[in-house]
Amino acid sequence: MILVTGGAGFIGANFVLDWLAGSTEAVVNLDKLTYAGNLQTLASASDNPRHVFVQGDIGDTSLVARLLAEHRPRAVVNFAAESHVDRSIHGPEDFVQTNVLGTFRLLEAVRGHWAGLPEVEKTAFRFLHVSTDEVYGTLSATDRAFTETNRYEPNSPYSASKAASDHLVRAWHHTYGLPVLTTNCSNNYGPYHFPEKLIPLMIVNALAGKSLPVYGDGMQVRDWLYVKDHCSAIRRVLEAGKLGETYNVGGWNEKPNIEIVHTVCALLDELKPRDDGKSYAQQISYVTDRPGHDRRYAINARKLERELGWKPAETFESGIRKTVEWYLANAEWVRNVQSGAYRDWVNKQYGATPA
Ligand code: NAD
Ligand code: DAU
């Protein structure tokens, strides 16, 4: 079995659901259930005996040690993090707490467990750390896409905290020999994305008749990857990645934000036209820019393709259509997130104190 942290968040939950569907191996899912953790996303796995959900903090060393001793996972996949750049600007402390201190404590618990394993299990064990392209900083329009050898130049409290966590993971390999792998991925989109992030926010605001807030001039570029493709990349790195290596993951889909917003509006115009027949693009409103806003990210994912044979399955066109269709078909999930009702799901489904 494997231990996944942060498996009730956007990418972690997609990973857990895909894992349960595609393998016979069990998953222990450790998640603190912050505002971003949503057990409703995992509702289809709630009766699955191969999914063990545990509410808890990656920084709780004794809990993690107990879970490792009890379940003896062959791998830990660390998704748990504070992930929203805007929140990190308003309140950086939680980011340092979870992304830096939490990762440190998780590494220590894993190291203690791993060191005591019999040789065969010890050799097979993996710690895969899920990170971001934002650690490399920002690019100009003509710069080359980030490779794994780019310097770390994080610019936001979020990316600085992720960079720190990447460095800890690297050091635990170099110093203690912990068998680690790190992935640095570009912007994900797809089902179950919390509507504080660009794409889901635009979809839900458009449908609610609200304005579509575009920061600054809307010409910042992100490199978009459908979440299921990120999950397949992680599975591939877990399976065949070289110990101590980092792998960039991306979809070769660089787009300016304003183009993303227009694409979302055009799909909604087609799939759920406004009552007045006008385009959702009328709701676009330019707002004050994000402080320190990185201008451009672009991932060169050639190493992962060349060494491990991974490629994304979705184009941006196919992935964004699936995403908009998913949000239209899952209005209740969105309503529960917006009303906060998803938080009641823990009690309803698992009782007051989840296992
Ligand atoms: P998310 O915010 O949707 O989910 C994070 C999950 O971690 C939540 O379920 C939350 O409850 C849990 N969590 C937070 N603090 C915790 C703690 N101390 N202990 C245990 N659980 C905790 O994030 P996401 O978008 O799914 O991102 C997952 C990972 O992937 C993060 O490490 C992020 O940095 C990285 N990443 C995200 C993207 C993206 O586009 N979303 C791209 C590249 C990398
Ligand atoms: O690059 C990977 C990163 O992508 C991950 O590490 C982060 O966890 C993830 O949140 C994401 O960060 P971004 O800041 O790029 O994502 P976000 O969806 O917040 O914003 C995408 C772009 O859209 C960014 O340039 C800011 C802009 N934006 C965002 C929001 C929420 C707007 O213009 N308006 C908005 O309302």
Q: Quick one: pLDDT at residue 341?
A: 72
Say how far apart CA 70 and CA 83 lie, in whole Å: 29
Amino acid at 301: A
* Closest ligand 2 atom number to CA of residue 199: 18
Nearest CA to ligand 1 atom 1: 9
Strand positions, DSSP E, the chain: 2-5, 27-31, 51-55, 75-78, 126-132, 180-185, 187-189, 212-215, 221-226, 246-249, 254-256, 284-287
Residues 306 and 313: their CA atoms lie apart, in Å, by: 16
Q: Which domain holds residue 34?
A: 2-189+225-252+294-314
Task: Confirm whether 94 is domain-assigned.
Answer: yes
B/e letters for 130-139, b = 16+ CB within 10 Å, e = fewer, are bbbbbbbbbb
User: Is 308 a domain residue?
Assistant: yes
For atom 8 of ligand 2, which residue has the closest CA?
A: 83
Q: Which domain CATH number covers 6?
A: 3.40.50.720
Distance CA 223, CA 180 (A): 25
Q: Does the Cβ of 185 fall within 6 Å of ligand 1?
A: yes
User: Is residue 102 included in any domain, yes or no?
Assistant: yes
Say what the pLDDT of residue 353 is: 43
Closest protein CA for atom 10 of ligand 1: 37
103 is a domain residue: yes
Cβ–ligand 2 distance for 133 under 6 Å, the answer yes
Q: What is the DSSP string of 45-81?
A: GTT-TTEEEEE--TT-HHHHHHHHHHH--SEEEE--S
pLDDT of residue 354: 39
pLDDT given at position 89: 96
- For the chain, the domain total comes to 1
Count of beta carbons in the 10 Å neighbourhood of residue 284? 18
- The pLDDT value recorded for residue 346 is 59
> In this predicted structure, what is the pLDDT of residue 76?
99
Distance CA 287, CA 21 (A): 42
What's the confidence (pLDDT) of residue 350?
Answer: 54
Q: Model confidence over 98-141: pLDDT tens digits?
A: 999 999 999 999 999 999 999 999 999 999 999 999 999 999 99
Bridge partners, residue 222, by sequence: 255
- Partners of 4 in the β-ladder: 29, 77
156 falls within a domain: yes
The answer to the question of residue 154 being in a domain is yes
pLDDT at 340: 82
CB 161 near ligand 2, within 6 Å = no
User: 158 catalytic, yes or no?
Assistant: yes
Report the chain (355 residues): mean pLDDT per 10 consecutive residues.
98 98 98 96 96 98 98 98 96 98 98 98 98 98 98 98 99 98 98 96 96 97 98 98 98 97 98 98 97 98 98 98 98 92 64 46
Using the mean position of ligand 2's atoms as its centre, give its distance from the Cα of residue 257 in Å. 9
Is the shortest distance between the CB of 205 and ligand 2 below 6 Å?
Answer: no
The answer to whether position 89 is within a domain reads yes
